[in-house]
């Protein structure tokens, strides 16, 4: 089974109703991924587009979708159960269309929901990529949101910025150390939204070029 190359619109059927989605497929993909958006912006936000493009450069097809609260025009995010069900619907859609290895990924809120889908065994995926995992609220450092993460036994990659005010570096490092198969790649001078400080960033590559390399490396390690 294979998916059509390029970007195409899809409608997902979830327990909460129909969800708009975008499927992005590179030539000869080696894996496929559910890519969930953050709380403040939907699947078509520039950051989500850039992430999907970075994954495509790494040979990964992505399926982005809008969570039910956005489909309903609401600002408050869905409950964990509704959000996890949406991730599961997207995963089922991909698995019905292609037999490529499945990954889950998400930016901020989307990554947190994807991690629950993995920890609670709602979706069977080969790996998880958390993009700017929201470990705690701004100026309120803590690890309560990470209590479920050690239940994930599959490989996990965290891509976090060194200026992310929702993931204190020392705390996230401690959390990852308690997981069975997890790693962090720090994106120099990037904040939660992956905006960088150009004058002080020593890496000449963009965050998304760096992301492509790390996703490619992660895939190579788990196969």
Enter the pTM of the model.
Answer: 0.96
Residues pairing with 184 in the sheet: 158
Question: What's the CA angle centered on 91, arms 85 and 95, to 5 degrees?
Answer: 145
Whether pLDDT at 14 is above 90: yes
For residues 127 and 179, what is the distance between their CA atoms, to the nearest angstrom? 13
Span 18-45, pLDDT tens digits: 999 999 999 999 999 999 999 988 999 9
Contacts with 8 (C-beta within 8 Å, 6 or more apart), sequence order: 22, 23, 25
Which residues contact residue 149 at a Cβ distance below 8 angstroms, ignoring those fewer than 6 apart? 115, 119, 156, 175, 178, 179, 182
Check whether 2 has a pLDDT greater than 90.
no
- Whether residue 128 contacts residue 153, with contact meaning beta carbons closer than 8 Å, is answered with no
Number of other CB atoms surrounding residue 135 within 10 Å: 24
Find, among 188, 181, 184, the residue nearest to 171 by Cα.
184
On whether the CB atoms of residues 65 and 33 are closer than 8 A, the answer is: no
Contact call for residues 26 and 62 (beta carbons, < 8 A):
no
Residues in CB range of 197: below 8 A, 6 or more apart: 163, 189
What per-residue confidence (pLDDT) applies to 63?
A: 98
Q: HSE on the CB side for 136, CA within 13 Å?
A: 15
- 61-71 in b/e burial notation, b at 16+ Cβ within 10 A? bbbbbbbbbbb
Question: What is the per-residue pLDDT for 4?
Answer: 80
Go through the domains of the chain in sequence order and give each one's CATH number: 6-222 (3.40.50.1820)
Give residue 192's pLDDT band: very low, low, confident or very high (50, 70, 90).
Answer: very high
**Per-residue pLDDT at 77:** 97
Of the candidates 150, 160, 220, 207, the one whose C-alpha atom is nearest the C-alpha of residue 181 is: 150
pLDDT in tens, 160-189: 999 999 999 999 999 999 999 999 999 999
What is the Rg, in whole angstroms, of the alpha carbon atoms belonging to the chain?
16
């Amino acid at each position: 089974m294979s998916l059509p190359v390029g970007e195409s619109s899809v409608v997902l059927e979830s327990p909460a109703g129909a969800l708009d989605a975008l499927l992005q497929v590179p030539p000869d993909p080696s894996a496929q991924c559910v890519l969930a958006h953050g709380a403040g912006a939907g699947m078509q936000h520039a950051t989500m587009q850039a992430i999907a493009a970075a994954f495509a450069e790494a040979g990964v097809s992505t399926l982005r979708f809008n969570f039910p609260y956005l489909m309903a025009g609401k600002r408050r995010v869905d409950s964990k159960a509704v959000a996890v069900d949406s991730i599961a619907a997207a995963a089922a859609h991909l698995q019905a269309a292609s037999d490529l290895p499945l990954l889950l990924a998400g930016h901020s809120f989307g990554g947190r929901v994807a991690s629950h889908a993995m920890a609670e065994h709602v979706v069977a995926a080969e790996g998880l990529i958390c993009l700017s995992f929201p470990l705690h609220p701004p100026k309120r450092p803590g690890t309560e949101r990470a209590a479920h993460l050690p239940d994930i036994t599959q490989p996990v990659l965290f891509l976090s910025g060194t200026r992310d005010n929702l993931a204190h570096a020392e705390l996230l490092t401690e959390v990852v150390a308690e997981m069975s198969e997890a790693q962090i790649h720090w994106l120099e001078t990037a904040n939660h939204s992956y905006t960088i400080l150009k004058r002080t960033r020593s890496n000449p590559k963009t965050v998304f070029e760096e992301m492509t390399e790390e996703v490619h490396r992660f895939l190579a390690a788990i196969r």
